[in-house]
Amino acid sequence: MVSRACKYLGYSRDTFYRYKELFDEGGESALRDMNRRVPNIKNRIDPLIEEQVVAYAIENPALGQVRVSNELKKKGVFISPCRARQVWLKHDLEIFQKRLKALQAKVAQEGLILTESQVVALERAKEEKFSQGEIETHHPGCMGSTGYLLCGLYQRSR
């Protein structure tokens, strides 16, 4: 019955039981005084795990969320691919280019030496950038040009 009511109202059963517990302890006034911005601790990722996910994402920018999750599991850090992506979103690392930019910033700041996989990832990004027609120039429009090709002669009829 509770499940059906929660489904009908669009609440989870966990939320229902939290509200029920508040109501049982403090009555209707406890529900009114409730602050909606109180975080649900169950949904938080451990800060140590979060740091490891961010560090691994910057260390290996070419890997996707599933591969990162699997590699971290091998090291004893258990996190699902979806949670890894949530951490990336929180730290603005959700796409390959952003992870590369974070790697470049870390290298510039700390003077680290790049690993072979990091160099390959940077080269791949340069190739993708060049293949899309993006060329770095000193001034905007510096590379713009117009070409004309003469395909034949026009004869004027009188």
The 10 Å CB-count burial string (b at 16+, else e) for 79-94 is beeebbbbbbeebebb
Whole-prediction pTM? 0.55
Q: What is the mean pLDDT of residues 135-154?
A: 61
Query: Where does the pLDDT of residue 49 fall: very low under 50, low under 70, confident under 90, or very high at 90 and above?
Result: very high
At 11-25, the pLDDT tens digits run 889 988 988 888 898
Contact 61, 96 (CB under 8 A): yes
Q: How confident is the model at residue 106 (pLDDT cuts 50, 70, 90)?
A: confident
DSSP code for 114 = P
Q: Identify which of 72, 52, 68 has the alpha carbon closest to the alpha carbon of residue 60.
A: 68
Which residue is listed with tokens 């293949």? 131
Domain range list for the chain? 2-42, 45-131
d(CA 78, CA 82): 12
The encoded tokens of residue 135 equal: 């060329």
**CA separation for the pair 40, 42 (Å, rounded):** 5
Say whether pLDDT at 138 is over 80.
Answer: no
Mean pLDDT computed over 43-64: 89
Burial class (CB in 10 A: 0-12, 13-18, 19+), 68: buried
Mean per-residue pLDDT for 44-69? 90
